[in-house]
Amino acid sequence: MRIKLTSEVPIVVYTLMGITVVVFLLQQASLALLNGADLPAMAGMKVNELILGGQIWRLITPMFLHGSILHLGFNMYALYIFGPGLERNYGHARFLALLLLSGFAGNVFSFLFTSSPSLGSSTAIFGLLGAEGVFLYQNRKIYGAVGQRALINILVIAGINLVIGLSPGIDNWGHVGGLIGGTLFAWYAGPVLRVEGVYPYHSLVDERQNGDVWRAGLSVWLLFGLLAATTIILSTR
């Protein structure tokens, strides 16, 4: 797959931001019109008992829901900062897979390790942090010292946010799961670049094949899906 290093619009990032903002506005309208009842959150947030009852969509939908304007703003800012560069390097479809798998993995970990209800796109955001770190590490020969400094910054940011996540009321297991899911997918499916040609006619070529991406995506989905399915089966016996 050949990578186009252009200023192409990151349509997945902007689409996800738009959907998430619209959903938040629906949440606020519901709160205002229905005596404080947040119907979108009630229908989609991670609630273990309801997942055990068969509402498995709650392992994906929490990433589109938020509990406050500050919660929404922080996550959308993080998506805006880290998303466009990754989308340009990954391409639209592979980047969308990264986001969805990270969000799914984070919600599965939250389901496994905490009984508290949760919502928010930070599961997917932590997957982006992991993917950015993997991209910089696997392409360190191309990006050199600049890439090394950026990788250190990513590790520091992830570490600080995981420590902050130890505070009460924050679903840190969701962060950990998203980080693991995004990192795994990126390690086996993310762009591995090489320079082809001679300056000024050189280009960057991605050595990954479509089959690599499909296998990695299916493997991550199966891994976390089996973890969730096993927990559901054992809990309902």
pLDDT in tens, 99-138: 999 999 999 999 999 999 999 999 999 999 999 999 999 9
Q: Which of 7, 66, 122, 167 is catalytic?
A: 122
Task: Report the pLDDT value the prediction gives residue 199, as an integer from 0 to 100.
Answer: 66
SS (H, E, C) 118-163: ECCCHHHHHHHHHHHHHHHHHCHHHHHHHHHHHHHHHHHHHHHHHH
DSSP 201-218: S-EEEE---HHHHHHHHH
pTM for the whole structure: 0.90
Give residues with Cβ within 8 angstroms of 199, minimum separation 6: none
Q: Which of 175, 202, 219, 235 is catalytic?
A: 175
C-alpha 144/C-alpha 160 separation (Å) is 25
Least confident of 65-69, 106-110, 125-129, 206-210: 206-210
Task: Report the pLDDT value the prediction gives residue 16, as an integer from 0 to 100.
Answer: 96
Q: What DSSP designation does 68 have?
A: S
Amino acid, res. 20: T
C-alpha 152/C-alpha 147 separation (Å) is 9
pLDDT at 201 over 70: no
Q: Quick one: pLDDT band at residue 5, thresholds 50, 70, 90?
A: very low
What average pLDDT does range 47-64 have in this prediction? Answer: 96
Average pLDDT, the chain: 90
pLDDT at 4 over 70: no
**19 or 164, which is more confident?**
19
Q: What DSSP designation does 200 have?
A: T
For this structure, is 30 an active site residue?
A: no
For this structure, is 175 an active site residue?
A: yes
What average pLDDT does range 14-19 have in this prediction? Answer: 96
Q: What are phi and psi of 134, to 5 degrees?
A: -65, -45
What is the number of residues in the chain?
237
Distances in whole angstroms, Cα of residue 148 to Cα of each of 39, 156, 204 = 45, 12, 19
Task: Report the pLDDT value the prediction gives residue 200, as an integer from 0 to 100.
Answer: 66
Amino acid, res. 44: G
Least confident of 1-5, 24-28, 176-180, 222-226: 1-5
CATH code, 11-235: 1.20.1540.10
- pLDDT tens string 138-189: 998 888 888 788 888 888 888 887 887 777 778 899 999 999 999 999 999 9
Cα–Cα nearest to 75, from 102, 56, 51? 102
Per-domain residue ranges of the chain: 11-235
pLDDT at 3 over 50: no
